[in-house]
Amino acid sequence: MENHRKENHNQKINQLHFNTENAYKRAEKSMKELKGFYIHLFIFLSVKIFLTIGKIYRNMENGETFKEAFSDSATFGIFGLWGIILLLHFLRVFGKRIFFGKDWEKNKIEKFMQEEENRWT
């Protein structure tokens, strides 16, 4: 009987260890998705700013005022589809979670692991 209890206890420990490893892998995957979104956002904004400044500059060289050049629909039109894709990426990654703080990768991994542990207990 005592031997059976030890085996049962060892099985529970092994299962907990296995679940913790899986939880870590899923948490790490979620963290990588978050990181991917932030990279996507940074690239989107960098390209948007660079191309918008260039378009405004060219329009002003062609005689438009800054206001006219800035409000030109072509200045912003090329980013419509990319903006929609970025929004869909945001919704897929974040769901109801919003933004990050100091040491966000570590914090997100810990949070995802805690959620996983709560799901199994």
What is the per-residue pLDDT across 5-43, written as a single tens digit (0 to 9) for each? 555 555 555 555 657 777 788 888 888 988 999 999 999
Non-local CB neighbours of 72 within 8 Å, separated by 6+ positions = 55, 56, 59, 64
Structure confidence at residue 83 as a pLDDT band (50, 70, 90)? confident
Q: What is the pTM of this model?
A: 0.56
| Cα→Cα distances 30→1, 37, 81, 101, Å | 43, 11, 25, 16
Axis crossing angle, helix 80-94 with helix 2-61, rounded to the nearest 10: 160
Amino acid at 104: W
What are the residue boundaries of the structural domains of the chain, listed by start? Answer: 2-116
Name the DSSP class of 104: H
